[in-house]
Structure 1
């Protein structure tokens, strides 16, 4: 029998989860854009971007009105991640933005600052979303702000 040191939803402490959800809420406050965080222990795919695409679609993130959803996928134990922006935001920021955000995460993750790295990445994505998709009257929160925990 194999015993894991934590259950799926215990990857982060309650205070860490609260910090990350709060980061998402603050990042989305002045934009119509949507940010989701998908976390799991292991990535079952060779390329974590494949898992991010699967999660993106399973969460219905491609259905936002302006196609401005961003998924931050992290496989903690495998030390892998992917950042996937929908077509609307990708068209505005281009590949260089995503590379910059990936490098930001790498820097934090190498120093074992997982929560801080995710928070900073969410903040910067939120700033970009605010620039390109400012909040307008009638904009509602199209997707939940909670963390999604995978397998």
Structure 2
């Protein structure tokens, strides 16, 4: 059930996109997919998952979570305080818009990859470069 949203090949493409995005910045990007629909607010569900995944434990507080609920056709993008004190709403809007453009065409993997790429490029403006040994969070998609 949890992986019906994406094929194994799409999962691999998305996880590789995270690796590539994190090569150009010091940000930490994660994707979480939930099939639970018992929340009232996707943003609050994403905030809870952000903490549960330990994304607020990075050195520079520069984690980004893309939280997807295919069942409700909702998603949220949130960042940690290290990012939020530097960026405006346009940072998040650009990532959202890149994703929505593909989602509307039913291309969910492509939408996630577009969002990851956009987030990586935007993060590079504020957190440029990345030492190869400093990956602080897993790059795999998490599920519940």
Fold in common (TM above 0.5):
yes
Name 1:73's counterpart in structure 2: 67
Aligned length: 144
CA contact (8 A) 2:50 2:56 kept: yes
Of residues 3, 17, 22, the one that matches 2:16 is 22
What is the distance in 1 between the residues matched to 2:87 and 2:122?
8
Of residues 43, 49, 54, the one that matches 2:43 is 49
The two structures, once aligned, show a CA RMSD in angstroms of 1.6
CA contact (8 A) 1:41 1:76 kept: yes
SS of 1:92's equivalent in the other structure is coil
What is the distance in 1 between the residues matched to 2:4 and 2:132?
36
TM-score by length of 2: 0.92
Name 1:149's counterpart in structure 2: 143
CA contact (8 A) 1:43 1:51 kept: no
CA 24–59 in structure 1, closer or farther in 2 if over 3 Å, else same: same
Larger Rg belongs to? 1
Alignment gaps of 5+ in structure 1: 1-6
Structure 1 stretches of 4+ moved >6 Å: none
TM-score by length of 1: 0.88
